[in-house]
């Protein structure tokens, strides 16, 4: 088909604008060929070095999901003396049956799934990388990663609650721990109940300044569970015991909103309860409204440690109010009275040392970052099992332990290949003329239109040197 000069120039401009995309596609195509060639040569190496008990049965193909995209690889199927089938190449790569996903892809897919819905994760990976996984596969990856971890954690917790035996940890020593806890309700589906409470706890050693009026917690440890108060604090204590020598902690502050299960945590970690200023102030603002004077008087008394005076001021305001406002103030009075042991600022008892410390309240931001942003307010509903699995993987990512866990989780008995032979095999594969796709000719440079401007532009590009 003949085309006019303007159309050819337009096509050339389009080619130049997408040059990086074209080169990337060619590079990925070459990398796929190298991946396939290397693994098939490695499979042949394993076949030569196999034991006499294994006999080759078939040569089967399977799709590997890699960061380069899907790659079809041929490998040998063996049968041992007992009649069982196995694939030495799959075992060497840590892949199970129907689980031919490389560790790199697993890590990227899991990290993406912890910050956005499964469908959206699949779309983002497909658009930004060569990874092409259905969202159901990502969901299954989360399940396969979390289930063994959760099973082991449940066994450890059950053993700890039954025996009280403390696990061997790093025995890190610190003089003070701030522990905070709160809960968030998530919608359920396919369950008897419509809502489930995720309990979240954090523990940290203090704060460090990261900007003007901005602080970050130091050495934060987080734990979440859908469980009763006793089971939650048992799991939280177990996690702390793996990190700290709690016997050496002189002062433990347990902060929260005053819920019974939160206050009960003080007895588990041998601490004292502190009512979060955020929850107390929110309750006062709701009840007193625009009465800033009364609110200021209440806080002035509490800030100097005179809790009884603060409660008396609130009771007087309740007696003077009428109707709904009187009920609201009375409700706040009962709330603060029930948590009066936690109203006194713990820093008042530390003298000069307390001036360098901050109030509790970090749990609010952590509930949002660790749970709410991914699992709430997006029209989502969950099964309890789904919540536990995703929280497990999310915390592994948050703590920077996902990559190490994937490595240890895939350990199995597999044939060993000397590292030197693997390195030689890689070099041999890469040396096999990887630039065949670059050895192309441009007929237009020798044709009847070689003197035209667009042909001269192509010649200039083809003769470019780096």
Strands 85-86 and 69-79: antiparallel
246 has a pLDDT exceeding 50: yes
Our measurement of the distance from residue 205's CA atom to the centroid of its chain's CA atoms, rounded to an integer in Å, reads 23
> Helix, strand, coil: what percent of the chain each, to 5?
55, 15, 25
Q: Report the C-alpha gap between 418 and 404 in whole angstroms.
A: 23
How many beta carbons lie within 10 A of that of residue 301, not counting itself?
Answer: 19
Specify the DSSP element, H or E, that contains 218. Answer: strand 214-218
Q: Report the C-alpha gap between 349 and 189 in whole angstroms.
A: 48
Tokens 């699992």 identify what position? 375
Specify the DSSP element, H or E, that contains 200. Answer: strand 195-204
Give me the DSSP letters along 291-332: -HHHHHHHHHHHHTT-HHHHHHHHHHHHHH--HHHHHHHHHH
Average pLDDT over residues 341-345: 91
Average pLDDT over residues 302-330: 90
Taking alpha carbons only, the member of 220, 169, 217 closest to residue 395 is 220
Tokens of 390: 């995703």
Question: 199 by DSSP, 3-state: which?
Answer: strand
Tens digits of per-residue pLDDT, 257-297? 999 999 999 988 889 999 999 899 999 998 888 888 999 99
Tokens of 178: 């701030």
Question: 110 by DSSP, 3-state: which?
Answer: helix
Are the C-beta atoms of residues 389 and 375 closer than 8 Å to each other? no
pLDDT of residue 466: 36
User: Which residues is 211 bridged to in the sheet?
Assistant: 214
User: Which residues is 65 bridged to in the sheet?
Assistant: 70, 101
Are the C-beta atoms of residues 317 and 301 closer than 8 Å to each other? no
Band of pLDDT at residue 162, cut at 50, 70 and 90: confident
Q: Report the C-alpha gap between 299 and 114 in whole angstroms.
A: 40
Q: What is the mean pLDDT of the chain?
A: 85
More confident residue, 459 or 30: 30
Tens digits of per-residue pLDDT, 186-231? 999 989 999 999 999 999 999 998 888 888 999 999 999 999 999 9
pLDDT of residue 397: 94
Taking alpha carbons only, the member of 131, 126, 134, 128 closest to residue 105 is 131
- At residue 200's C-alpha, the angle toward residues 198 and 206, to 5°, is 170
C-alpha distance from residue 455 to each of 1, 452, 466 (Å): 17, 5, 21
Average pLDDT over residues 302-311: 91
pLDDT of residue 2: 44
pLDDT of residue 415: 62
Taking alpha carbons only, the member of 355, 286, 342 closest to residue 314 is 286
More confident residue, 169 or 120: 120
Q: Report the C-alpha gap between 221 and 236 in whole angstroms.
A: 9
């Amino acid at each position: 088909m003949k085309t006019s000069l303007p159309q050819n120039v337009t096509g050339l401009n389009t080619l130049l604008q997408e040059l990086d995309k074209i080169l990337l596609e060619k590079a990925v195509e070459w990398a796929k060929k190298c991946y396939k060639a290397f693994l098939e040569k490695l499979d042949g190496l394993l076949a030569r070095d196999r034991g006499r008990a294994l006999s080759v049965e078939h040569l089967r193909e399977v799709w590997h999901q890699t960061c380069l995209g899907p790659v079809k690889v041929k490998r040998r199927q063996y049968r041992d003396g007992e009649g069982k089938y196995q694939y030495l190449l799959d075992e060497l790569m840590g892949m199970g049956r129907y689980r031919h996903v490389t560790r790199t892809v697993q890590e990227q897919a899991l990290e993406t799934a912890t910050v956005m819905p499964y469908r959206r994760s699949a779309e983002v990976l497909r658009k930004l990388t060569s990874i092409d996984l259905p969202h159901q596969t990502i969901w299954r990856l989360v399940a396969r990663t979390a289930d063994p971890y959760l099973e082991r954690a449940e066994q450890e917790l059950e053993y700890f609650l039954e025996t009280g035996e403390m696990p061997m940890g790093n025995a890190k020593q610190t003089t003070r721990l701030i522990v905070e806890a709160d809960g968030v309700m998530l919608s359920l589906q396919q369950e008897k109940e419509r809502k489930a409470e995720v309990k979240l706890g954090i523990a940290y050693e203090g704060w460090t300044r990261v900007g003007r009026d901005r602080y970050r917690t130091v050495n934060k440890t987080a734990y979440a569970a859908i469980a009763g108060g006793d089971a939650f604090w048992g799991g939280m204590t177990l996690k702390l015991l793996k990190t700290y020598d709690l016997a050496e902690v002189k002062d433990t502050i347990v902060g929260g909103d005053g819920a019974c299960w939160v206050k009960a945590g003080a007895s588990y970690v041998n601490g004292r309860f502190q009512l979060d200023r955020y929850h107390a102030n929110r309750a006062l603002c709701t009840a007193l409204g625009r009465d800033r004077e009364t609110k200021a008087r209440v806080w002035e008394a509490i800030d100097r440690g005179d809790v009884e005076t603060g409660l008396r001021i609130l009771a007087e305001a309740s007696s003077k109010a009428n109707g709904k406002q009187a009920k609201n103030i009375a409700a706040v009075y009962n709330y603060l009275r029930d948590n009066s042991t936690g109203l006194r600022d713990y820093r008042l008892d530390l003298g000069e040392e307390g001036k360098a410390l901050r109030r509790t309240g970090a749990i609010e931001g952590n509930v949002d970052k660790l749970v709410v942003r991914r699992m709430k307010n997006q029209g989502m509903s969950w099964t309890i099992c789904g919540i536990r699995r995703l929280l497990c993987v999310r915390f592994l990512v948050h703590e920077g332990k996902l990559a190490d866990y994937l490595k240890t989780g895939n350990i199995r008995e597999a044939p060993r290949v000397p590292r030197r032979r693997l390195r030689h095999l890689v070099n041999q594969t890469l040396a096999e003329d990887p630039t065949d796709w670059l050895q192309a000719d441009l007929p237009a440079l020798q044709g009847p239109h070689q003197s035209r401007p667009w042909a001269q532009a192509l010649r200039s590009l083809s003769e470019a040197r780096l």
